[in-house]
């Protein structure tokens, strides 16, 4: 970027998208600061595992100079997929061919650490909860944080997820509940403590559905498995049942009753978990979500196009981040860069949002994956 003076760039959110953008900007000699509301890098669980695809997430890691390190950390065997019926009968089993690196799995925490450790010390400012973005549209913008401090920026990049505060400077849109909710359960030291579940899930994932409810289990590194109990329920289904999310025994009893007709092997995915459940109602932004161009604010990832969790979220966030960083590096002004970035981003996001609209319902479907027809069970 040849703009003078050098623009002050602030990224809000230290997730994979925000960190990827910061990494690529720094590789091109562009200064950037990332603000995140967490008090520190280890303040919360980063979630389970995800697959990074060759045609989006891996493109971003290549531009970030981190692709080979990603392959070293990733688990190609995590591409294994099993689908069962509610009685536990195996309907479909896919294993990746040797050397297949199209979409290997990596723990979210490992990916976050890979990106975070690639940045210059001090790039990320922790404990920075954004309250609002104001200031003139042409800049500079003022970022107001919950601790009472204010920071000026010439470009604000919203990588702050589903409930983005940066989005409010561009769009009145807010995420809406999809009608489908996840309840997350954790299993640790599975080979020793839960060998039946370890055998059921294998090295990748296993799922079962009956059209109204589903179970999706996924192995992480370190001998962990996460299970997602998927239901078509009101967002407040736990409290409506007279329970709280802390009432593990009460929730377990309720779920086992709801899944009473399922096989004992699958019911173990509900009842044998270690510790509490985590309530995750699924939200999505209205389709399509677009905004009028603004020369000093833009969005990436879930802040721009929150969709149901069907395997594209982090991949698209990282591709967004890569394209935005390269646009800033290759254009003479921030405004020109944002025009170029959004010219690609918005049509792609709209197409994907429409494709996945009501996609949360697909998570409950009994249909087999498209490629199961060729591979067989």
Residue 189 shares a structural domain with residue 332:
no
By the 8 A CB rule, do 101 and 71 touch? yes
Flag whether pLDDT at 268 surpasses 50.
yes
> For the segment 99-131, what is each residue's pLDDT rounded down to a tens digit?
666 678 888 889 999 999 999 999 999 999 999
Is 279 known as a binding-site position? no
> For the segment 122-171, what is each residue's pLDDT rounded down to a tens digit?
999 999 999 999 999 999 999 999 999 999 999 999 999 999 999 999 99
**Predicted local confidence at residue 4, as pLDDT:** 46
Residue 204 burial by Cβ neighbours in a 10 Å radius (0-12, 13-18, 19+): buried
Residue 197 shares a structural domain with residue 218:
yes
Does 94 reside within a domain? Answer: no
DSSP SS3 for 163: coil
Flag whether pLDDT at 8 surpasses 90.
yes
Q: How confident is the model at residue 347 (pLDDT cuts 50, 70, 90)?
A: very high
**Predicted local confidence at residue 52, as pLDDT:** 87
**Predicted local confidence at residue 105, as pLDDT:** 87
Kindly state the average pLDDT of the residues 214-232. 93
Is 210 known as a binding-site position? no
For helices 313-330 and 334-356, give the axis angle rounded to 10 degrees. 160
Partner residues linked to 150 by β-bridges = 144
By the 8 A CB rule, do 85 and 91 touch? yes
Residue 48, CB-side half-sphere exposure with 13 Å CA sphere: 25
> For the segment 188-207, what is each residue's pLDDT rounded down to a tens digit?
999 999 999 999 999 999 99
Partner residues linked to 329 by β-bridges = none
Q: How far apart are the C-alpha atoms of 311 and 78, rounded to whole Å? A: 14
Kindly state the average pLDDT of the residues 346-369. 84
**Predicted local confidence at residue 312, as pLDDT:** 83
Q: How confident is the model at residue 9 (pLDDT cuts 50, 70, 90)?
A: very high
The boundaries of the domain holding residue 322 are 9-80+101-175+285-360
Domain containing 332 — which CATH number? Answer: 3.50.50.60
Residue 343, CB-side half-sphere exposure with 13 Å CA sphere: 7
**Residue whose pair of structure tokens reads 């002050």 in the numeric block:** 8
Partner residues linked to 299 by β-bridges = 158
Kindly state the average pLDDT of the residues 183-192. 95
Residue 160 shares a structural domain with residue 188:
no
Kindly state the average pLDDT of the residues 73-93. 90
**Predicted local confidence at residue 78, as pLDDT:** 81
Does 366 reside within a domain? Answer: no
Residue 169 shares a structural domain with residue 308:
yes
Q: What is the pTM of this model?
A: 0.91
Q: How confident is the model at residue 187 (pLDDT cuts 50, 70, 90)?
A: very high
**Mean pLDDT taken over the chain:** 91
Residue 110 shares a structural domain with residue 170:
yes
Does 374 reside within a domain? Answer: no
Give all strands (DSSP E) within 45-127, no chain letters: 49-51, 81-84, 90-94, 105-107, 124-125
Is 354 known as a binding-site position? no
Flag whether pLDDT at 265 surpasses 60.
yes
Higher pLDDT, 272 or 368: 272
Flag whether pLDDT at 298 surpasses 80.
yes
- Number of Cβ within 10 Å of residue 211's Cβ equals 12
Residue 145 shares a structural domain with residue 292:
yes
At residue 229, φ and ψ (nearest 5 deg) are -85, 115
Tokens found for residue 369 = 């994956």
Q: How far apart are the C-alpha atoms of 98 and 100, rounded to whole Å? A: 6
Domain boundary among 233, 252, 284: 284
pLDDT above 90 covers what percent of the chain? 78
Domain containing 183 — which CATH number? Answer: 3.30.9.30
Residue 128 shares a structural domain with residue 17:
yes
Domain boundary among 269, 284, 299: 284
Q: What's the domain count of the chain?
A: 2
Residue 15 shares a structural domain with residue 30:
yes
- Number of Cβ within 10 Å of residue 345's Cβ equals 23
Residue 37 shares a structural domain with residue 156:
yes
Residue 344 shares a structural domain with residue 239:
no
**Predicted local confidence at residue 45, as pLDDT:** 66
Kindly state the average pLDDT of the residues 290-315. 93
Flag whether pLDDT at 21 surpasses 80.
yes
Residue 111 shares a structural domain with residue 259:
no
Does 353 reside within a domain? Answer: yes
Domain boundary among 248, 266, 284: 284
Kindly state the average pLDDT of the residues 75-93. 90
Does 328 reside within a domain? Answer: yes
Does 233 reside within a domain? Answer: yes
Residue 64 shares a structural domain with residue 146:
yes
**Predicted local confidence at residue 370, as pLDDT:** 47
Does 95 reside within a domain? Answer: no
Q: How far apart are the C-alpha atoms of 346 and 366, rounded to whole Å? A: 32
CA dihedral for 92, 362, 44, 314, sign (positive or negative)? positive
Residue 175: partners with Cβ closer than 8 Å, 6 or more residues away: 162, 163, 283, 284, 285, 306
Is 108 known as a binding-site position? yes
Residue 182 burial by Cβ neighbours in a 10 Å radius (0-12, 13-18, 19+): buried
**Prior bond of 5 cis (ω within 30°):** yes
Residue 309: partners with Cβ closer than 8 Å, 6 or more residues away: 182, 282, 363
Residue 301 burial by Cβ neighbours in a 10 Å radius (0-12, 13-18, 19+): buried
Does 91 reside within a domain? Answer: no
Kindly state the average pLDDT of the residues 2-28. 90
Residue 48 burial by Cβ neighbours in a 10 Å radius (0-12, 13-18, 19+): buried
């Amino acid at each position: 970027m040849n703009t003078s003076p050098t623009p002050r760039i602030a990224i809000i959110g230290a997730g994979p998208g925000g960190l990827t953008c910061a990494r690529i900007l720094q590789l091109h000699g562009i200064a950037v600061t990332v603000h995140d509301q967490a008090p520190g890098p280890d303040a919360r669980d980063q979630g389970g595992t995800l697959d990074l695809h060759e045609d989006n997430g891996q493109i971003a890691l290549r531009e970030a100079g981190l692709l080979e390190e990603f392959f070293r950390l990733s688990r190609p065997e995590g591409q294994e997929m099993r689908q069962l019926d509610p009685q536990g009968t195996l309907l479909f089993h896919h294993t990746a061919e040797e050397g297949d690196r199209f979409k290997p799995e990596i723990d979210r925490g490992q990916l976050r650490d890979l990106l975070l450790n690639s940045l210059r010390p001090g790039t990320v400012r922790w404990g920075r909860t954004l309250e609002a973005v104001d200031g003139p549209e042409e800049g500079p913008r003022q970022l107001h944080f919950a601790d009472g401090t204010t920071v000026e920026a010439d470009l604000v990049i919203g990588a702050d997820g589903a409930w983005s505060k940066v989005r409010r400077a561009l769009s009145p849109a807010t995420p809406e509940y999809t009608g489908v909710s996840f309840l997350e359960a954790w299993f640790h030291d599975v080979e020793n403590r839960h060998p039946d579940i370890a055998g059921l899930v294998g090295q990748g994932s296993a799922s079962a559905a009956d059209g109204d409810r589903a179970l999706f289990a996924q192995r992480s590194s370190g001998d962990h498995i996460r299970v997602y109990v998927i239901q078509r329920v009101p967002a407040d289904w736990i409290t409506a049942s007279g329970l709280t999310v802390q009432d593990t025994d009460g929730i377990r009893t309720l779920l086992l009753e709801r899944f009473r007709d399922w096989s004992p092997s699958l019911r173990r995915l509900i009842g044998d978990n270690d510790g509490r459940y985590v309530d995750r109602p699924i939200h999505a932004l209205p389709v399509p979500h677009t905004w009028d161009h603004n020369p000093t604010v833009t969005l990436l990832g879930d802040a721009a196009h929150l969709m149901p969790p069907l395997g594209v979220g982090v991949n698209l966030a990282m591709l967004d981040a890569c394209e935005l960083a390269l646009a800033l590096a290759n254009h003479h002004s921030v405004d020109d860069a944002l025009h170029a970035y959004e010219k690609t981003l918005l049509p792609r996001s709209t197409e994907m949002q429409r494709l996945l609209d009501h996609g949360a319902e697909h998570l409950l479907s009994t249909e087999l994956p498209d490629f199961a027809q060729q591979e067989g069970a």
